[in-house]
Structure 1
């Protein structure tokens, strides 16, 4: 499968950069996890593209693009909500990725803003200055005994270990863990996700993933096995990831933190908070 070349979005194109980040961090995450999930699918209508998932006791819809004209957003949103059954929960990611979904329109439709979480904050690392000089660390060795491997294909012998370490670190529920390999394989083979895997002998100890297909260098995920934390592994992985991103022509990297520890780590490594976006929800 041929991966299409990516044109980096300039750092000066702030709206486009943040929009691409939200679509990578939110939309692509949900979409990729539907690949191996028979209860989930992506639906496109004349008005919207949305992620639809139906479980035994729930039906969830995540609205992505509003395809219609901006002035039709209120009517189109009312129309899709009217066509859904009772008990369905609907989410919309507000902000620069969904400019038609203004707070006033969402409030009139009955949506409420979700309580703030760390994942609603975009954090940015400057990798190259305005003169084109790389300013982020690109050469930090891992601890003694730890080896870092690149993975660029789901056929790599270490790909299964890459999936397993993420599931183990974040203690995924069995259904989520079972869908992860197909999701990562799709994003790797079709869209060019770049993975780093750290090992110590036969033990897998950490990973980091870079996603670039929307024109933004998005640090999609990173995790370290508990026994190997606070040894400098994340710094070493980030340096290698920065090197790759700069090689591809990116000037900045964006990520989000899932908890206090992640936010603290990214802040210590130079990421700065640049944008807070919102997710709106309604229970029908």
Structure 2
């Protein structure tokens, strides 16, 4: 039996990669941790002498476990109450400075990945994010290399057509984030509207657990009035907001009475907030505690 505390063990050596793969596959911190636990159980029971390439074995195990879980999760999401958004995850500040890494784990990208089939998602991530060859992916997924190439091409084109423009100006993002928090805290409707793009859309994921908009909100006036009205509720009088790096981008963490109650991520295009994603489902906030942060993609 292998000691899980052994830092020299291949599982611990590659844990960041394994978590990163599972999280990007599933868009869920909780599910990713469950997959890692199942991977550890598989790894601790395997005959080590029969495993010639531990890293490949572990990645293959995580990928296939994630595929199985993602397939079953899709059926559950069909009856999900309101918009479904990925679970937000605190990430180390230096990730935001690495455009490609930040882009690959951004909430916007995870939403785009949701439009791929489970196999397309696995192939895209292994190829485009983690740099595996088509042959390596074929071995991992136990599919012909020619098939993997076709899937990779289709998935890459699909993502390129839908991926958002990535804003790399961190100084401007910090400035607009501060302005947005100030406008929201002051209930300044006009100031909020000025920060929003004309075609802004807001999604709010409450999962039927807490109050949230059941449908996407569109347009500057509609979105701004909903935000200001929501924050004006008496039970949110002591709500605090702070800028934190969420999924590789500067976002906003909301706390109430010392407890995390929500997270906001957004796309910044031409210095205007174009898309807002509010995650307030209490069952999807575990990744917003420091010990769960993605100092590990």
Using the size of structure 1 for normalisation, the TM-score is: 0.31
Structure holding more helix per residue:
2
Greater relative contact order structure (CA < 8 Å, 6+ sep) = 1
Using the size of structure 2 for normalisation, the TM-score is: 0.30
